[in-house]
Amino acid sequence: MGQYLNIGKMVTSSLVSWRKANEHGLTGIRTIDYKGNKLITDDGHEFINMCSCSYLGLNRHPKVIDGAISALEHEGTMSTSVSRARIAPKLMVETEQLMSKVFDAEIILTTSCFTASVSVLPLLASGQMTEGKKPLMIFDRSCHFSMNILKPNCGNETEVVTCPHNSIEFIEQACKENDTVAYVCDGAYSMGGNAPIEELIRLQKEYGLFLYIDDSHSISVYGERGVGLSRSFFDKLNDRTVIVGSLAKAFGATGGVIMLGSNKYREMLDYCSGPLGWSQMINAPGLGAIKASAQIHLSDELPKLQAQLGEAMAHFDRIIPSSNAGNGLPIRVIDLPSVDDAVEASAHLFQKGFYCSAVFFPIVAKDRPGVRVMGRANMSNEDIESFCEALKTI
């Protein structure tokens, strides 16, 4: 009991912080409209949402919206209400084929990035993707909750351990002591920073390390065609690497994506992975939105949006230096002494017209509360300067 997770402790430790955030008006915010890059609440308060992961603003792109509407009208239904393994609209195949051009990989679409992890990780733990040899499963200490929550499932199949964050030494030693090792991590972490991809590829070449990477926070914002940080390091994706990601963040649509090096595991995932075989699939408007965003990713528009985001973050970094400045990703964290300070700072910024999330355990370690800043491509220099001025007064 409690070998992999301690949900009770998490609830006891974190709920008091969430209550503080709620008391300061930082949860349960409801909006009724938007104007430009600002949201509007029912009492007329306008603010820029700097908690949103739609870093490029594609979630409001007219082509993405039109794609969703057109798909719904064409299919005449939200959902087939049956698993994709049995019946799916041709639109799903067309969309996956287009996404294969974006990521230069075999693509499987899922209802969420979590569904992608639920589909792949237990199969990986069982040895189905490592020539029948059950791997030692190493989860990075800073893995996102959506992967950590699957440790018991994987632990039912094989040995599961947790390593210090980004510890190449730990992983390499494990590779020396075990025939088969799989490492589970984020490519770009939700609190800033990234995995040491080059070193992980070195271990893969030397020891056959299997890599499972959730790159949700860098897809679209990083790399040619927005392939993301991790995919950018591979000329061709191989069969000992699986990259997954959310399409509901910078991609601007919905659902998740599984990137594979080939169709080697396709049949197994289609029929034996759980959610892909027996659960719902992405609905029609979701597929339409993904297809439209994929077309943007294959056009000249995407690098322009990436450049705008890069310029916005560079301007912010010039005014407010931080540990993640200049890393090519749009997440910054302002460390603060206590949870109370983080909540009060977030509330102050919200009143000034900027919503940034107060972060505390279990989002971050207990001794690292702060305010997380998510950059946006549609923020002007004036917006950034106003935000930084507000930030300086907390």
Strand partners, 46: 40
CB atoms within 10 A of CB 206: 11
Share of the chain above pLDDT 90, in %: 86
Do 75 and 49 lie in one domain? The reply is no
Whether residues 241 and 311 share a domain: the answer is no
- Residue 1, in any domain of the structure: no
What total number of domains does the chain contain?
2
pLDDT in tens, 140-172: 999 999 999 999 999 999 999 999 999 999 999
Q: Are 319 and 371 within one domain?
A: yes
Q: Which domain holds residue 197?
A: 62-298
Instruction: Give yes or no for residue 1 having a pLDDT over 70.
Output: no
Q: Where are the alpha helices (DSSP H) in the chain?
A: 7-23, 62-75, 90-103, 113-125, 145-148, 151-155, 168-177, 197-207, 229-232, 266-272, 275-278, 284-297, 301-319, 339-351, 381-392
Q: Which CATH number do you get for residue 11?
A: 3.90.1150.10
Roughly how many angstroms between the first and final C-alpha of the chain, as a whole number? Answer: 43
In a domain? residue 122 = yes
The last residue of a domain, from among 298, 316, 343: 298
Query: What pTM value is reported for the model?
Result: 0.95
User: Domain boundary at 244, 274, 298, which?
Assistant: 298
> Is residue 221 located within the same domain as residue 206?
yes
User: Which CATH number covers residue 171?
Assistant: 3.40.640.10
35: β partners: 38
Q: Which of these, 232, 186, 246, lies nearest to 52 by C-alpha position? A: 246
Quick: pLDDT tens for 219-237. Answer: 999 999 999 999 999 999 9
Average pLDDT over residues 262-277: 92
**Which residue in 211, 121, 105 sits closest to 160, CA to CA?**
121
33 and 167 inside one domain: no
Amino acid at 102: V
Q: Are residues 215 and 353 in the same domain?
A: no
